[in-house]
Structure 1
Amino acid sequence: MDIKVVLVSAFTVNGTGGNPAGVVFNADRLTDAQKLKIAQVVGYSETAFVASDDEADFEVSFFTTTAEVDFCGHATLATFSTMFQEGMLTAGTYVQRTKAGMLSVSIEPNGKVIMEQQLPEKIASFSSQEIAHVIGIENNILESTHLPIEAISTALADVIVAVPHGYLDAIEPNDERIADFCKKHNLVGFHVFELCEVPSKHTASCRNFAPLFGIPEESATGSSCGALACYLTEHLAELGSEYVFEQGRAMNCHSIITASVESNNSIISRVKVGGFANSIGSVLITL
């Protein structure tokens, strides 16, 4: 059986950069073992599998090279952008069933895809002493931000860590330490950010590390940026509710992720993440 996998770069900047994902359509008859095998052959951080659904417009499942995950932002963007660009969908709002729940996805006439995420769940808080050695930054440097370190999930649980401006690119991640910490605390990875200085058009620059799931570093992470937007809404309300995040700079693969948060009396009621994607080819995989 030959399976066509569309290769798509998501959260691109003017058609370049972004984070590649695989997309498989008509995946109704594929087993989880087959999906995992396909994801391993593709070799990207995630591959999305699109199937029919009785209630939602589509059922979408996501596999890394090591396991299935409940949700993936950049693979969702890749999926719906491809369907729009190939004329399978028109601009409008659709619903996908994922293991993170029924989530809406909107496609704007210009091709931008905006994904609804789960409402944030704060999983845990950590001290700078617990985190410093894991990501290789001195404790006093982490403390100097005066911002908390929290594990937040809008579908996938990541540790949100602020570092002072100028320190982000200097991080040299220790995959074993990060993976061990995430396994111990039942987390996916670390989302480390530094706030951008005025007059930058970006809110923050980010790096994401998820070696426990076979992803040493990722150039664009939609779910994590959704969690970061919720974090900033709570702790730095003066930044507003519309965010533009840059990711992938340290990998020489720039990505832009937009995020918005709606809230009422400090209670978040909606989280959305958006961006653009571009097809970069396709492969046939024989099972």
Structure 2
Amino acid sequence: MSSHTLQKLAAFTSTPEGGNPAGVWIGDSLPEPQEMQRIAAEVGFSETAFVAPNKGSKRTVRYYSPEAEVPFCGHATIATGVALGKKAGSGTYQFATTVGTIPVEVSEYCGEMRAALTSVEPKFELPSDTLLKNALSALDWDVDDLDSSIPPARAFGGNWHLVLAVKSKQRLDDLSYNFGKLKQMMLDDDLTTLQLIWRENDGLIHSRNPFPVGGVVEDSATGASAVALGGYLRESNIINAPQNINILQGEIMGSPSHLTLFIPKKGGITVSGTAVILSD
């Protein structure tokens, strides 16, 4: 029987009260898919990362929500990076995921472990009229609520996300949606979360991420949607790369999270943050 550890960490935060919790399972070899699904459901967080082998810079990683396997998860990757850093030290780890190899750079700064992942090549496309109409209906939003400077888009940085930007923070703060309706729409369109944003200024974006397909009403920090957003902003020429953007998420939920986005001129998008251990 292979040895393994299971830790619970909160990613994109320096305090246990904030961030997005993730399970991090590290062992000699990955369990069978049904066992990973069982463990993820038992942990109960939006995602649990399963990592093997126990040593070395190259690791195979799989991600499971309580209900299904997820191709890629940003906050669980950051949590895993910090967990590996605390166990094996700083350095660059190569995560072999189902969407490709993700480099994760782990370093210590001011006494804290920090992890930075660089996404696969991002891409985006315009949503269909039907998708946009159904999303707005499920959210009880109106076209007039949207910020025309950041048009709606389907964006990819490992998973597909629907990006909807609104004109006011109040519209974002007042989020309330039809769980079943939104979940079905997302399943039909292969969406992992909705990246709902309000841009305060060029360097600061507020974000909320409904995640009903994972059985979670809302994610408090979503690294995968952050890199997808960064890629969309660059590829659509909404911003001039290179650029750094801070994303604040989870504030309304009482789990404030801080994601740091670096958008280079080309290639994958980097998101970084800290993580704290909640329990072993």
TM-score by length of 1: 0.87
Structure 2 CA distance for partners of 1:48 and 1:163, relative to 1, 3 Å:
same
Q: Is the 8 A contact 2:134 2:185 kept in 1?
A: no
Aligned with 2:175 (options 163, 171, 175): 171
Q: Is the 8 A contact 1:259 1:273 kept in 2?
A: yes
Aligned with 2:121 (options 114, 119, 126): 119
Q: Is the 8 A contact 2:67 2:215 kept in 1?
A: yes
Q: In 1, Cα distance between the equivalents of 2:68 and 2:136? A: 28
Q: Is the 8 A contact 1:27 1:49 kept in 2?
A: no
Q: How many Å apart are 1:210 and its aligned residue? A: 1.6
Aligned with 1:195 (options 178, 186, 199): 199
Q: In 1, Cα distance between the equivalents of 2:176 and 2:152? A: 19
Matched with 2:150 is 147
In the TM superposition, what whole-angstrom CA distance separates every residue of 1:42-89 from its partner, at most 9, and x where no partner exists? 10000011112999611111100011111111111111101212xx32
Q: How many Å apart are 1:252 and its aligned residue? A: 0.8
In the TM superposition, what whole-angstrom CA distance separates every residue of 1:114-133 from its partner, at most 9, and x where no partner exists? 00111112254244544321
SS of match in other structure, 1:269: coil
Q: In 2, Cα distance between the equivalents of 1:65 and 1:39? A: 5
CA RMSD of aligned residues (A): 2.3
Higher mean C-alpha displacement, 129-138 vs 185-194: 129-138
Q: Is the 8 A contact 1:56 1:102 kept in 2?
A: no
Structure 2 CA distance for partners of 1:112 and 1:58, relative to 1, 3 Å:
same
Q: Is the 8 A contact 2:26 2:54 kept in 1?
A: no
SS of match in other structure, 1:108: strand
SS of match in other structure, 2:24: strand
Higher mean C-alpha displacement, 221-230 vs 12-21: 12-21
Q: Any gaps of 5 or more consecutive residues in structure 1? A: 283-287
TM-score by length of 2: 0.89
Q: In 2, Cα distance between the equivalents of 1:239 and 1:248? A: 26
In the TM superposition, what whole-angstrom CA distance separates every residue of 1:182-231 from its partner, at most 9, and x where no partner exists? 12212222110001158xxx610000012022121000000101111122
In the TM superposition, what whole-angstrom CA distance separates every residue of 1:128-154 from its partner, at most 9, and x where no partner exists? 544321221122222x53431111110
Amino acid at match of 2:89: T
Q: In 2, Cα distance between the equivalents of 1:108 and 1:39? A: 27
Aligned with 1:244 (options 243, 246, 250): 246
Amino acid at match of 1:252: G
Q: Any gaps of 5 or more consecutive residues in structure 2? A: none
Give aligned-pair identity as a percent.
26
Q: Is the 8 A contact 2:122 2:268 kept in 1?
A: no
Matched with 1:285 is none
SS of match in other structure, 2:108: coil
Higher mean C-alpha displacement, 228-237 vs 92-101: 228-237
